[in-house]
Amino acid sequence: MAIDRHYIFDKVNFFLKKENKFFTSSELHMTIGVDSFRRIGEELNYPKTNYSSIIASGEYQISTPSDFIKIDQNHELTVELSSTIYTLEPKTSKLIGRQNILDPTNAIPQNYYMETESLIGLYPPGNTSMIVVIPYVKYATALSSDTDTNELTENCYMAAVYWTVGECMLKDNDERFATYMQLYDREILRLKSKYGEMFEEDKDLMPDDRYL
């Protein structure tokens, strides 16, 4: 049996016993189909994909895709420049030096860094046009109808149930929300233990004090 949005919705209502006062049915569907799986994806570093972009000579900043969460540190970010593929190492913009970034000399890129949450920088910029391949953790596909599934529904549906129920109870000032958040946390730990090779724990390279 496919685990789809309708199946998860029924499970959520079973735990809520239709007592939830805060969310309408459509809001509950949104919480299940988008919010819960975004939270789970961030916790599990999954699903993952690659993004390819062509940038011109001298350019060194790339906008991230709309479904970007963070760079997948378990796979290499590469550039193809003059038919040669180079692997880039992560480096903080502080270590590169702000003046070097603002006034770069064209060469072969060696490093990448997070300029903002939605902008990746290469240093130094390439001396010709190049193809950049960025491995990243992405948001799971949103569930917009009852029969929709995504990359996480089959294995992670109970995490979505617990998180959604806990969120509903939190909005309703129901003290039971803490119990469901604990169940959610335990389910995330179980998933990491069972599917650890799939999810692959990695370092978060989102911009913060270490990476700016």
**Model pLDDT, residue 210:** 42
Say how many C-beta atoms besides its own lie within 10 A of residue 59's C-beta: 16
* Residues 169-202: tens digit of each pLDDT: 998 888 999 999 999 999 999 999 988 766 765 5
Tell me the whole-structure pTM to 2 decimals: 0.82
- DSSP string over 55-76: E-TT--EEEPPTTEEEE-TTS-
Cα separations (Å) of 13 from 33, 109, 144, 157, 178? 14, 53, 18, 14, 18
pLDDT surpasses 70 at 206: no
Strand partners of residue 48: 137
Cα separations (Å) of 34 from 49, 95, 205? 18, 37, 23
**Distance of alpha carbon 185 from alpha carbon 170, whole angstroms:** 16
% of the chain surpassing 70 pLDDT: 89
Confidence label for 4 from pLDDT (cuts 50, 70 and 90): very high
* Residues 12-65: tens digit of each pLDDT: 999 988 665 666 788 899 999 999 999 999 999 999 999 999 999 888 899 999
